[in-house]
Amino acid sequence: MTRAGAGRRWSTGPARVERPWLDPRDLWTEALAGVLARPVRSALTTLGTVLGITTLVITIGVASTAGNQIVGRFDALTATSVTVTVPRTLPGQDDTGPLVDWSGTGAVRRLAGVESVAAVADSATTNSVQVRSNDVTAPGDTSGQTLGVVAASAGLPDAVRGAMTAGRFFDTGDIARRDQVAVLGDQAAELLGIRRVEDAPAIFFRGQSYTVIGILGGIRRERQLSTAVLLPPTTAADRLGLRDVTRVLVNTSLGAARQVARQAPIALAPGHEDALTVVAPPDLSKSRDGVQNDVNGLFLVLGLVSLVVGAIGIANVTLVTVMERVGEIGLRRALGASRRQVAAQFLLESTTIGLLGGVIGASLGIAVVVCVAVVKDWTPVLDLRLALGAPLAGALVGLLAGLYPSLRAARMEPADALRAPS
């Protein structure tokens, strides 16, 4: 042969060599046909991903729903209530005077975030007092009702979030004048048979009489006060010796409770704040995180394990499929498919299976979350990112699982592959 002749024809020969080409629509058609060719196998292959994604969606979905529910249960009342308890003064330590003065409520009221505050005083001796609504004792009559007698500052109705159902609460004027007036809790009024205060009913205990000027109802804090007789602190100190503040009730705006709980003892008893006991609502975010960490950690791990198992399943089945379709791979290569296009097809098939598992799993998970919420009478809380991200996570699992089988398919030599039965 003559090199010159060959060279001449090479130079004039048409250099019409193209690159392999594949329309994305054709790629999608081929991959989808591959998935649908063995529908049962594809469906079974998705199961692992379905389980994993379902578990993850349920875990995250139920957690966020329940988390929201926990906040709901710690309602505004609990979340904004701070109670400062003053220890009873021991007889030997009496010389320093009371730890907390009645005027201390004013100092607390000035703290940022405080909405209402009241001080109350009770004692063991005044916790059960025979109270009568009539001074005349008829033979055979019961000896009256056993009620608690409590001294309270003027701000009490707000502090216990109650409302006057009749009459009025005693005010600073009553307190200053040391009036012999009393306000009844609604239960106490019921027991004593007092429903109206217009005709100034009187109650009697410890040999003294008091005019009832109001009935306090709807008490939501310190509910025992609804069976109590409330007296102005000055009056109680004079007539019952009920001098020292035993509890200070503080209501804060939402979110200020923790801060107020730190500051209130200092405002009440500067220098002796450590002696006071403060009951404040638990830190909600911390408690919620605690619950979630315990419950979710386990389920998240379960879900992730399922996903890994699902990924292994997809990888396994895709590998089997690749090995079964060696002849087809050879054919596609003979028809002009590049290695990359063969890999892309199998990758797209495994990704489709993963995506399918993700969609089914997300749907199942969301359905379960909604069912749980309905059964528990909760409001389902579903993050849109979760609903959209779960199918994507499934697709990602499929993509990763398909990497190795696709590589195997791409590496096959077409001549060898064609020898396999199709």
- Quick one: which segment of 51-59, 210-218, 363-371, 408-416 binds other proteins (CB under 8 A)? 408-416
Kindly state the smallest distance separating residue 353's Cβ from other proteins, in Å: 16
Tell me: does residue 36 bind other proteins (CB under 8 A): yes
How many residues contact other proteins, by CB under 8 A? 43
Site track for other proteins across 320-339, x = CB under 8 A: -------xx-xxxxxxxxxx
Cα 156 from chain centre:
31
Tell me: does residue 414 bind other proteins (CB under 8 A): yes
Site track for other proteins across 211-250, x = CB under 8 A: ----------------------------------------
Q: Which is nearer to other proteins, 21 or 218 (CB)?
A: 21
d(CA 359, CA 77): 42
Tell me: does residue 375 bind other proteins (CB under 8 A): no
Kindly state the smallest distance separating residue 19's Cβ from other proteins, in Å: 6
Separation in Å, CA 257 to CA 165, 223, 262: 29, 20, 9
Q: Which is nearer to other proteins, 33 or 76 (CB)?
A: 33
DSSP string, 189-258: HHHHT----TT--EEEETTEEEEEEEEEE---SSGGGGGEEEE-HHHHHHHH---S--EEEEEE-TT-HH
Unique residue bearing structure tokens 């003065």: 101
Q: How far apart are the first and last CA of the chain?
A: 41
Tell me whether strands 129-131 and 163-167 are parallel, antiparallel or unpaired: unpaired
Q: Which is nearer to other proteins, 160 or 343 (CB)?
A: 343
Tell me: does residue 40 bind other proteins (CB under 8 A): no
Tell me: does residue 26 bind other proteins (CB under 8 A): yes
Tell me: does residue 421 bind other proteins (CB under 8 A): yes
d(CA 396, CA 394): 5
Kindly state the smallest distance separating residue 33's Cβ from other proteins, in Å: 6
d(CA 30, CA 43): 18
The interface with other proteins within residues 5-24 (CB under 8 A) comprises 5-6, 9-10, 13-23
d(CA 195, CA 200): 11
Residues 6+ apart with CB under 8 A from 31: 345, 346, 348, 349, 352
Q: Could you tell me the two tokens for 317?
A: 């089945």
Residues of this chain that bind other proteins (CB under 8 A): 1-2, 5-6, 9-10, 13-23, 25-26, 30, 33, 36-38, 327-328, 330-339, 341, 413-415, 418, 421-422
